[in-house]
Chains A and B, each alone.
Chain A
C-alpha cells in the first residue's frame, strides 16, 4: 500500500495538464473587460506578527526538545508550522530563502533588507547558538512536511551521506552568488515544497515536489540533509550551543536501544580504543589532505572562474544582451520576450552590452569564489573525516541532529530527581 501510494505521487504533475492561462478572445465579444486591480501590499503589522510567531515557535521548540523532551509536542508543533508558515503564509518568507535577501542586501547597495527577512534569517541562527537546531525540529515547514511523510525509513550508508552532504554547501554557495549579483533567488525558484503550500505550480515544480515527497517516504528528510542551504549555517552554529539534545535524560548505560532509532543517521556510537598503527596512518592521511587543500582551492577557483560565462546567463541583462547580439548579428530570426522587453525600454544597445559585460565580470569573480568555496568544503570534509573524536556514549551529532525527538522514547533511563541539599545540623 505504501509503495503504491509512493508511486501515486508521481502522477501529481498530470493533474496540472491544461492549466495554461487562457488567451482573450480574438474577436469582438462585447465583453467589458474589468479594470485591472492591483492587490494591496500585506499590512506591515502582519510581518511583525510573523516574527512574533516565529520567535514563539522557536522558544516552544527549544522547550519541547530540551526540557520537556516530548516527541508528541514536537509533532504537534510541526503540524502548526505546516499550517501557519506553510499553507497560511504559503511558504514565504522562510529562513531558508532569507539567505538570499541578506546576500542581495550585501551585494546590491540599492536593496534595503526588510526587517522581516532579517529577523527570519537571524532568529533561528540565534536559537541554534543556545538550543541547537530547534528550528529544524518543528518550526521549519519544509522539514515538518518531510518528517510527516516519512513512513518507512531506509538507512542510507554513512559514506553516501558524507558525499551527498556536499550538495548543500554547493547549493548555498550558488544561491549566494546568484543573489549577490541580483540574478535570481534560486532557493525560492526551486523550493521543492512551495507548490504544495500554494496548491499550484508548474508541472516541473509539482514534479519536483511529488518526487521529493516520494523519496521522503523512505529517506528521512532528504532536503534537510542533502540540500538545505540554511541547514549548513545551522550545522555550523548548533555544535556551539551550550544546551544540546541528548538521547538520555540522565546517563548512558550503553544499552544500544537507541542505536538505530534515528532515521537521519545523526546518532554517533562510542568509539573503540584506537590502536597506534591506525593513529599513525591517520596522521599521514591528515597531512596529505592538509597539503592537498591549497590545490583543491586553486583547481576549484580556476574552474569556477571560467564557468562565469554560463553562470551569468541566470542574470536577465546577460541573457538579453546575448540574445540581442545574436539578433543584431542576424544569427537568429525574430525576437523573444526578453529582447522585446529590452527594445521597449528604448535604451541604446551599447548600454545593455556594457551592463552585461559588468555582470559577466562579477560572475567571473563570483565563479572563482564559488570554486574556491567548493574546494574548501571538499578539503575540510576530508580533513574532518580523518580526525578521530573520542566518544564513550551514544550521543547525537550536534551538527546533524534535527532534534525530532524520536530517540527519546527508546532510552530506558529516567530523568534523575533533583537533589535536595542536605541541611546541616
Chain B
C-alpha cells in the first residue's frame, strides 16, 4: 500500500506531537530528579556532618559509628540512584528529541510552502552600507574590549615577579673561626633567599652553646627550598638526595687505605659515637653523636676535616623520665641527619629533635617523646621542600597508637601535619619520590609499604608485602618502588596505585638491615651475613648471587657504573654494576663501620667507629 503525501504528513505530524510531549516529560522528570536529588543529598549530608561531629566527641560510641555508616550508605545510594536515573533519562531524551526533529522535518517535506516572490528584487547596495556601519560599530566595541583587557592586564594580571637579584641571599656569614669559604659547590646557606621587605633575619651571634632551658624562638626566615638539580649535587640525607643510594658522580675513588692514609684526604676523630651517616652540603658536613649522657651535633669542614662547631642537645625535657634502653648496636645516635642547605636537623634515640643553621645557631629544638622502641630509634630524617619528615614508629603492636608520620616546618619546628600509622616499631627511613609529578612520601613498616601525600599527610596508597622488624628502607627506581625485609619479600610496587607487581617477588637471602639499591634495570640486595643478590628490575628473576666475606649493615651505593658495598669491618667492595658479578677492587677503611657513605664530587665521606674519613683528593 502506497501512502499519499497527505497521509505521510499526518503521520509525521502526530509523531512529532507525541515525541515532543514525550521529550518534554522526560526533560521535566530529569529536572525534577536533579532538584529532588539536591534536596535529599542536602538533608543526608547535614545528618552525616552532625553525626561526624558527634563521633569526634564520642569516638568509641559503636552505635553512633553504625548509624553514621547507615546514613553514609543512604547518601551514596541516593547519589547512584540519581546518576542512573539521569543517564537513562538523557538517553531517552535524546532519542525523543531526535524522533521529534526527524518527524517535523518529514512533515515539512510534505507541506512545502512554495515561495511567491513579490515586488522588485532587493537592492543589495544599502545592505552593504549598513554592513559597513555595523562592522565599524563592532570594531569600536572590540577596541573597547581590548582596551578594557589591556587596562585590567596592567592593573591586576601583570605582577612583577621578584628577580633573582632582588632575592639575593642575606644570611649571616658563619664565624670566621668556625668556617672557611667554600672552594666549590654551594656555600652554606646559599639558597636562603630573603627579600629585604618580608624577611626578619636572625640576629648575628656566634656558635656558642645554648644555655639549658633557653630555647630560642623560631626565626622567621623566608627560605626557598632547593630544587632537584641542586639536591642532586649534595648528599642531604640518608643515602643521598633521593634516599636511594644513587650518587650523581662518575669519578668516585676506587682505592684507598685508611690505616696507611693512602688516598685519604683527611681523617678526623668524632667526639661521640653514633651509627648515623654523614650528610654533606657544599663544604659543610654534618654528623650526630651521642652516648648515654650526652647528645651532640657536629659540623665539619668537608675540605679539611676541621670541626667547625659542635653543639650539645642536652636541655630538652621529656615527660617520660624512665631510663632509655637501647641495643648497643643501635646506640643513641643512629638516625642520620638531614640538611637542606640552610638547616641541619638531628634526631636522637631519646626523641630529641634539634635544628641548627650552618653557623651552629640552634633554630629550634623539641623532644618528640621518648620512643617506645625495643632496639632503639634508628629511623633517619628526610625532608621535602620546607618540611622535615619524621617516621616515628613505636611499640610492639600495630595498635599501639603511638606510631605516626610527622611533618614539621623545617625553619620553625612547627607541626604541619601528623598522620597516625597502624604500625609497630620499624627502623626503616622514609623516602620522597616523584611519582608522575606527585610527591609521595613512601614508608616501610610491618606489614605495609604506605605512601602519603607530602602536602597534607593523607595516605595515598598501601601495599602489604612486609613482615617482621622492618629496617631496610625503600628505594624508587625505574618507576617502581622496591621494598624488602628478611622473612617476607623483595617486592616491586607501582606507585600511584600501590599495586604490587604480582609476578615480581623475590624471597631468597633477603636483608634485615641494609637497604636495596637499584638503577631500574637491576636491583641489588645484600643480606647481613654476606650474600649479595642481583635481581632483574623488570622481571624479579635472579640474575646472580655471590657470597662475600663479612657482615653487611651499611647500605650499598651506586656511583656511575660501580656498586660500592662496605662490610662492618670497613672493607669496601667495589663491583661492576652489571648483570655479572665482577669485583673491580677492595679498599679498607682501617676500622669497623656500619654507616652508609656519602658521595659528593669526587670524594667519599665515611664514618668509622671512631673517625670520620674523607676519601679522595
Q: Which B residues between 47 and 95 are near A, CB-CB below 8 angstroms?
A: 52, 65, 68-69, 72, 76, 79, 82-83, 86-87, 89-91, 94
CA distance A158 to B434 in the complex (A): 58
Q: Which A residues between 367 and 397 are near B, CB-CB below 8 angstroms?
A: 371, 374, 378, 381-382, 385-386, 388
A365 at the interface (CB under 8 A from B): no
Q: Mark B132-158, 1 if CB is under 8 A from A, else 0.
A: 111111110011001101101110111
CA distance A374 to B150 in the complex (A): 15
Chain A, Cβ-Cβ closest to B386 = A343
CA distance A278 to B129 in the complex (A): 11
Q: B136 to chain A: which residues have CB within 8 Å? A: 382
Q: A256 to chain B: which residues have CB within 8 Å? A: 115, 117, 121
Kindly identify which residue among B20, B138, B231 contacts A378, using a CB–CB cutoff of 8 Å.
B138
Contact between A382 and B132 (Cβ–Cβ < 8 Å)? Answer: yes
A27 at the interface (CB under 8 A from B): yes
Kindly identify which residue among B86, B115, B438 contacts A257, using a CB–CB cutoff of 8 Å.
B115
A15 at the interface (CB under 8 A from B): yes
Supposing A148-B101, A346-B384, A348-B224 touch, asked if A22 and B76 sit within 8 A by C-beta, the answer is yes
B20 to chain A, nearest CB (A): 6
Contact between B24 and A310 (Cβ–Cβ < 8 Å)? Answer: no
Contact between B115 and A261 (Cβ–Cβ < 8 Å)? Answer: yes
CA distance A26 to B138 in the complex (A): 54
B99 to chain A, nearest CB (A): 12
Q: A26 to chain B: which residues have CB within 8 Å? A: 52
B100 at the interface (CB under 8 A from A): yes
Q: Which A residues between 10 and 37 are near B, CB-CB below 8 angstroms?
A: 11-12, 14-19, 22, 25-27, 29, 35-36
CA distance A173 to B34 in the complex (A): 39
Classify the secondary structure of A's interface with B. Answer: helix
Kindly identify which residue among B35, B90, B153, B164 contacts A309, using a CB–CB cutoff of 8 Å.
B153
User: Which of A51-59, A89-97, A176-184, A297-305 is the interface stretch?
Assistant: A297-305
Contact between A299 and B143 (Cβ–Cβ < 8 Å)? Answer: yes
Contact between B68 and A356 (Cβ–Cβ < 8 Å)? Answer: no
Q: B101 to chain A: which residues have CB within 8 Å? A: 148-149, 151
Contact between A199 and B137 (Cβ–Cβ < 8 Å)? Answer: no
Q: Which B residues between 280 and 335 are near A, CB-CB below 8 angstroms?
A: none
Q: A119 to chain B: which residues have CB within 8 Å? A: none
User: Which of A109-117, A125-133, A322-330 is the interface stretch?
Assistant: A322-330
Contact between B121 and A11 (Cβ–Cβ < 8 Å)? Answer: no
Supposing A381-B135, A386-B132 touch, asked if A344 and B438 sit within 8 A by C-beta, the answer is yes
A244 at the interface (CB under 8 A from B): no
Q: Mark B22-52, 1 if CB is under 8 A from A, else 0.
A: 0110011011011101100100000000001
B129 to chain A, nearest CB (A): 8
User: Which of A60-68, A233-241, A264-272, A417-425 is the interface stretch?
Assistant: A264-272
A280 at the interface (CB under 8 A from B): no
Contact between A309 and B198 (Cβ–Cβ < 8 Å)? Answer: no
CA distance A321 to B228 in the complex (A): 19
Contact between A308 and B153 (Cβ–Cβ < 8 Å)? Answer: yes
Q: Which A residues between 331 and 366 are near B, CB-CB below 8 angstroms?
A: 335, 340-341, 343-351, 353, 356-357, 360
Q: Mark B148-181, 1 if CB is under 8 A from A, else 0.
A: 0110111011110110100100000000000000
User: Which of A40-48, A100-108, A134-142, A160-168 is the interface stretch?
Assistant: A160-168
B213 to chain A, nearest CB (A): 33
Contact between A170 and B154 (Cβ–Cβ < 8 Å)? Answer: no
**What bracket does the count of chain A residues touching chain B fall in?**
35 or more
B584 at the interface (CB under 8 A from A): no
CA distance A12 to B29 in the complex (A): 11
B202 at the interface (CB under 8 A from A): no
Contact between A351 and B135 (Cβ–Cβ < 8 Å)? Answer: no
Contact between A27 and B161 (Cβ–Cβ < 8 Å)? Answer: no
A218 to chain B, nearest CB (A): 13
Q: A29 to chain B: which residues have CB within 8 Å? A: 69
Q: B82 to chain A: which residues have CB within 8 Å? A: 18
A266 to chain B, nearest CB (A): 13
Q: B91 to chain A: which residues have CB within 8 Å? A: 199
B262 at the interface (CB under 8 A from A): no
Contact between B198 and A329 (Cβ–Cβ < 8 Å)? Answer: yes
Chain A, Cβ-Cβ closest to B65 = A27
Q: B68 to chain A: which residues have CB within 8 Å? A: 27
B554 at the interface (CB under 8 A from A): no
Supposing A149-B101, A259-B117, A269-B122 touch, asked if A350 and B94 sit within 8 A by C-beta, the answer is no
Contact between A306 and B157 (Cβ–Cβ < 8 Å)? Answer: no
Kindly identify which residue among A158, A254, A285 contacts B127, using a CB–CB cutoff of 8 Å.
A158
Contact between A18 and B157 (Cβ–Cβ < 8 Å)? Answer: no
CA distance A388 to B149 in the complex (A): 36
A410 at the interface (CB under 8 A from B): yes
CA distance A350 to B481 in the complex (A): 31
CA distance A356 to B127 in the complex (A): 47
Kindly identify which residue among B38, B89, B135 contacts A162, using a CB–CB cutoff of 8 Å.
B135
CA distance A166 to B142 in the complex (A): 10
A178 to chain B, nearest CB (A): 14
Contact between A353 and B161 (Cβ–Cβ < 8 Å)? Answer: yes
B10 at the interface (CB under 8 A from A): no
A1 at the interface (CB under 8 A from B): yes
Q: A309 to chain B: which residues have CB within 8 Å? A: 152-154, 157-158
Q: B38 to chain A: which residues have CB within 8 Å? A: 17-18
Contact between B27 and A313 (Cβ–Cβ < 8 Å)? Answer: no
Supposing A5-B20, A378-B142 touch, asked if A22 and B157 sit within 8 A by C-beta, the answer is no
B122 to chain A, nearest CB (A): 6
Q: B203 to chain A: which residues have CB within 8 Å? A: none
Q: A350 to chain B: which residues have CB within 8 Å? A: 164, 167, 193, 224
Contact between A15 and B34 (Cβ–Cβ < 8 Å)? Answer: yes
B415 at the interface (CB under 8 A from A): no
Contact between A259 and B79 (Cβ–Cβ < 8 Å)? Answer: no
Q: B200 to chain A: which residues have CB within 8 Å? A: none
A358 to chain B, nearest CB (A): 11
Q: Which of A12, A157, A335, A344 has the most CB of B within 10 A?
A: A344
B385 at the interface (CB under 8 A from A): yes
B183 to chain A, nearest CB (A): 24
Q: Which of B86, B94, B437 has the most CB of A within 10 A?
A: B86
10 contacts between A and B (CB under 8 A): A15-B33, A18-B82, A27-B65, A35-B497, A151-B105, A164-B138, A196-B94, A309-B152, A325-B162, A385-B135
Q: A1-B17, A27-B68 are in contact. List 8 more A-B contacts (CB 8 A).
A: A8-B28, A148-B102, A159-B127, A163-B135, A259-B115, A271-B124, A309-B157, A328-B222
Binding site for A on B (CB under 8 A): 16-17, 20, 23-24, 27-28, 30-31, 33-35, 37-38, 41, 52, 65, 68-69, 72, 76, 79, 82-83, 86-87, 89-91, 94, 100-102, 104-105, 112, 114-115, 117, 121-125, 127-128, 130-139, 142-143, 146-147, 149-150, 152-154, 156-159, 161-162, 164, 167, 191, 193, 198, 222, 224-228, 230-231, 384-385, 434, 437-439, 454-455, 496-497, 499
Binding site for B on A (CB under 8 A): 1-2, 4-5, 8, 11-12, 14-19, 22, 25-27, 29, 35-36, 75, 148-149, 151, 157-164, 166, 170, 196, 199, 254-261, 268-272, 278, 285, 296, 299-300, 303-313, 321-322, 325-326, 328-330, 335, 340-341, 343-351, 353, 356-357, 360, 371, 374, 378, 381-382, 385-386, 388, 409-410
10 tightest CB-CB pairs across the interface, nearest first? Answer: A309-B153, A309-B158, A306-B150, A17-B34, A162-B131, A303-B146, A256-B117, A159-B130, A353-B161, A163-B134
